[in-house]
Structure 1
Amino acid sequence: MPAIASIEYFRVPPRWLYVKVTDVEGNFGWGEASLEGHSEAVEGALESFKARFIGWEANDIEHIWQAVWRLGFYRGGPVLQSALSGLDIALWDLKGRRLNIPIHDLLGGKVRNKVKVYAWIGGDRPDSVKVQAEARKAQGFKAVKMNATADIGWLDSPASLDSAAERLATVKSLGLDAGVDFHGRIHKPMAKQLAKLLEPFRPLFIEEPLLSENYEGIEELSNLTSIPIALGERLHSRWDVKKFLNSKATIDILQPDISHVGGISELRRIAAIAEAYDVAIAPHCPLGSIALAACLQIGASTPNHVIQEMSIGIHYNVEAGEEDITSYVTNPEFFAVKDGFVEVTNGPGLGIEIDEDFVRTVSKGAKAWRSGGFVGEDGGLREW
C-alpha cells in the first residue's frame, strides 16, 4: 500500500485550518483541524505529525490514530485531538478517493438517504432574530439554533431572562423548530430559571446549559427540566463522553465536533457508545466545508444521528478575511438544503471537491483568528 508522502496544512479565512495528505502515488485527501482561536497550537502539533508519519502506510488509519493517542504519553485535549482530526479525516478521504467510493460506504453503508440539518442564527438580539430566522427559512431550513443570552452575569436580574423566551417565541411563530444554546455562559442560579422559562415553547434542546466541567450542576439541572439537554463540543474523546453516559446526569443529545474529537474514527466510536445509552448524536459544526462534509458522511451512516449543524449561507467578506464555506469547493451543490435536509451523495471520499488553488491563495498571509469575547456591564469577563 502507498505510504504518506506529505502532510500540508492551510490557515484559511475566517478561522479554519485545512489539512491535505498526499501519498507516494499521488492520491490525496483533505481534512479539517480547525480549533477556533488556537490555530498556531494545532499547527505545531501537525508539524510533529509530519515528522512522525511521513512514510507510514496511508491505508492504516486506525494504526495512525492509535499512534497519535498512545505514543505521545500526554493524551487527548483540544489541541492534539484537533490536529488528529485533520489527519484522520484526510486519510479517510484519501482512502475513499483511491477506492472511488464514498466514506459512508467504508463505514458500512447508508442508513438514510438524506440528513436533517439546522443552521445557526445567533439570535441573542431582539432586533435581528426574526430577520435571521426568516433568511434561514428561505434557504430551505426547518430548524435553527439560537443563542440564549449575550452577557448574563453569575446572578443577574430574573427579568434579564425574559428576552430569551420572547426571541424563541418569535422564531417558533415562523414555523421553525429551534435549539437554544446557553453556550456555558449562564451559571446555575440563572440556568435553572431560564430552562423553566423556555419549557412552554418546547425547544428542540438546550445546549451547554452549564459548562461541561460543571458535571454536578448538569446532573442537578437535568432533573429539573423536561427539555432535552445537549452538549459535547468541548469534549474531546470517548473517555470524556463516558462519564456523561454512565451517570445520573441525563444527557439526551451528544454534540461532538468532528474537528475536535479525533475525526471520523473517534466520532464514529462515540456515536456507537451513545447508541447503547439511547442518546442521540447531533454533531457540532459551525466550521468549514471539510468538517461539514465529514459530518454528513457520519450522518448518512449512523443510526442514532438525528440532525446536523451547518454554517452554510453566511456570506462573509473575503477582503475582510472571511468567506462562506461553499467558496472552498467546486461543487457547492453538495451542500444544497431542501425542506430541511441535505441529500446523501455518492461521490468518492468526502464527496466534495476542494478548490485547491483558492485554498492556497487565501492561506498566504492569513492571520490567526482571535475571539473578541464578551464583557459585562461591570467590566467582568463573560463566556464566549
Structure 2
Amino acid sequence: MKACVHELMEYLTGKDPLRIEDHWNLLYRSGFYRGGPILMSAIAGIDQALWDIKGKYYHAPVYQLLGGACRDSIRVYSWIGGDRPSDVAREAKKVMDMGFTAIKMNGTEELQYIDSYRKIDETIARLAAVRDACGKELSIGVDFHGRVHKPMAKILAKELEPFRLMFIEEPVLAENNEALREIARHTSIPIATGERMYSRWDFKGLLADGVVDIIQPDLSHAGGITECKKIAAMAEAYDVALAPHCPLGPIALAACLQLDATAHNAFIQEQSLGIHYNESNDLLDYLSNPAVFTYQDGYVQIPQGPGLGVEINEEYVRKMAEAGHNWRNPVWRHQDGSIAEW
C-alpha cells in the first residue's frame, strides 16, 4: 500500500488540493485495474488528508463542508475480549463501569464447515455470562469475524436469538454474501457486514438483495470520506443503518466521526480505545490533545476543530515508525491440520 500511495501521489503533486472529487475520480478511474484493499486503502489515506487540508483552508470541520451536521455526538461501543474470547463477562462489566453502553465481542473460535455443538454451547455460555453480569440494558454486538461458514452460521444466528443482540457481524465472509439470504431467514437479529468491502460497487448488490441491516464500511479501506459518504447515502435509500468499522488510530476515527455527523443513518461508531490489538500504545497516544475524543455516557462528541479536528503528535509517530512492526494475522488450523479462518 505504501508503494501504491507513492505512485498515486505522482498524479497529485502540484495540483489544487481542494478539487477532491476530481482527484478521487482520477485515482480510481485512471487505473485499468480497480478496487480491492490495496488501491482503495491508498486512495482512502490520500482522501482523508485532502479533506483535512480543505477543512483547515476554510477554518471549518469537514462535516461543515459535507452539508453540516445532523447530530452533535454519536454512541460508541467498546471491544471486549480477544480473538479467543474467555472471561468476557468480567471485561464487559469493566467497560460498562467506564460508561460504555454497548460492546462488541468475538462469538467463537475457529469453526469447521460443520462443527461440534460444543462450540455453539460455549458461545451461548459466554453470552449468558455477559448478560448475567451486565443486565438487559447493555447492547451487545457479536462478531462472527468471517470465521464461520454458512451451515454453522445458521445455527448460531438462531441460537443467539434469546440474547436480543444489537447485531451479528460478518456471519460469513463478504465473498459469500449470497449466504446472508438464508441466514436472515433463521433470525430476526440485525445482520451487519462490510468491513471487507471497498467501494459503492461492492455494496450495490448487497443492498439490492435486502438482506443486510447495518453496513460497516471502513473509511481507511473503502476509499475514504468521499466514497463512504456515497455508500452511506446508498444504504439510507434502502433503510439500512451505518456503523463504520474502525479498530484503528485517531485519524481514522476522526474521519469516521466527520462522516457520522452528516449521515442520518449512522447510529453507533466503533473505536479502538483499549482494544486487544493495542499492546504497546493506544488510540490517544498519537494525539497532541487527547481530550478531543472524550467519551461520556457512552457517546463521543463530534470533533469541532478545523479539518478532521485532530492534531497528531508527529514526533511520537516518527518515534514509533523507527521502532517499526511486523504484525501478521495469526495462523489458525483445525484439529485435522487444515487452515482455519482467523
State the TM-score bracket (shorter-chain normalisation).
over 0.9
- Pair 317,123 (structure 1): closer, same or farther in 2 beyond 3 Å: closer
State the distance in 1 between where 2:92 and 2:341 align.
24
- Pair 274,154 (structure 1): closer, same or farther in 2 beyond 3 Å: same
Amino acid at match of 2:87: S
- Pair 179,107 (structure 1): closer, same or farther in 2 beyond 3 Å: same
Structure 1 residues 352-361 or 168-177, which shifts more?
Answer: 168-177
How far does the alpha carbon of each residue in 1:281-310 deviate from its partner, in whole angstroms, 9 at most, with x for none?
A: 000111111101111111111100010001
Q: Give the conservation status (yes or no) of the 8 Å contact 1:85–1:262.
A: yes
- The aligned counterpart of 1:17 is none
- The aligned counterpart of 1:244 is 206
Query: How far off is 1:142 after superposition?
Result: 0.6
Q: Give the conservation status (yes or no) of the 8 Å contact 1:139–1:337.
A: no
- The aligned counterpart of 1:66 is 25
State the distance in 2 between where 1:269 and 1:315 align.
31
How far does the alpha carbon of each residue in 1:182-221 deviate from its partner, in whole angstroms, 9 at most, with x for none?
A: 0111111111111111001111011110111113211111
Identity %: 51
State the distance in 2 between where 1:240 and 1:324 align.
31
Structure 1 residues 366-375 or 254-263, which shifts more?
Answer: 366-375
TM-score, with length taken from structure 1: 0.85
How far does the alpha carbon of each residue in 1:321-364 deviate from its partner, in whole angstroms, 9 at most, with x for none?
A: x3101000011111121111001231111111100111112112
Q: Which runs of 5+ in 2 are unaligned?
A: none
Q: Which consecutive segments of 4 or more residues in structure 1 shift more than 6 A? A: 315-318
Q: 1:349 aligns with which of 307, 310, 333?
A: 307
Question: Normalized per residue, which structure has more strand?
Answer: 1
How far does the alpha carbon of each residue in 1:86-136 deviate from its partner, in whole angstroms, 9 at most, with x for none?
A: 000010011111211111111111111111110111356564202221222
State the distance in 2 between where 1:222 and 1:315 align.
30
- The aligned counterpart of 1:324 is 282
State the distance in 2 between where 1:325 and 1:100 align.
25
State the distance in 1 between where 2:68 and 2:62 align.
8
Question: Normalized per residue, which structure has more helix?
Answer: 2
- The aligned counterpart of 1:306 is 267
State the distance in 1 between where 2:103 and 2:287 align.
24
Q: Give the conservation status (yes or no) of the 8 Å contact 1:161–1:194.
A: yes
Q: What count of residue pairs does the alignment treat as equivalent?
A: 339
State the distance in 1 between where 2:278 and 2:34 align.
38
Q: Specify the SS of the correspondent of 2:14.
A: coil
State the distance in 2 between where 1:229 and 1:142 align.
20
- Pair 329,54 (structure 1): closer, same or farther in 2 beyond 3 Å: same
- The aligned counterpart of 1:181 is 143
Query: How far off is 1:278 after superposition?
Result: 0.1
Q: Specify the SS of the correspondent of 1:342.
A: strand
Amino acid at match of 1:324: D
Q: Specify the SS of the correspondent of 1:122.
A: coil
Q: Specify the SS of the correspondent of 2:89.
A: helix
Q: 2:153 aligns with which of 182, 191, 196?
A: 191
Q: Specify the SS of the correspondent of 1:213.
A: helix
- The aligned counterpart of 1:146 is 105
> After the TM superposition, which residues 115-264 of structure 1 pair with which residues of structure 2 at under 5 Å, given as runs?
115-122=74-81, 127-173=86-132, 174-175=134-135, 176-247=138-209, 249-264=210-225
Q: 1:78 aligns with which of 32, 37, 42?
A: 37
Q: Which runs of 5+ in 1 are unaligned?
A: 1-41
State the distance in 2 between where 1:117 and 1:83 align.
26
Q: Give the conservation status (yes or no) of the 8 Å contact 1:345–1:351.
A: yes
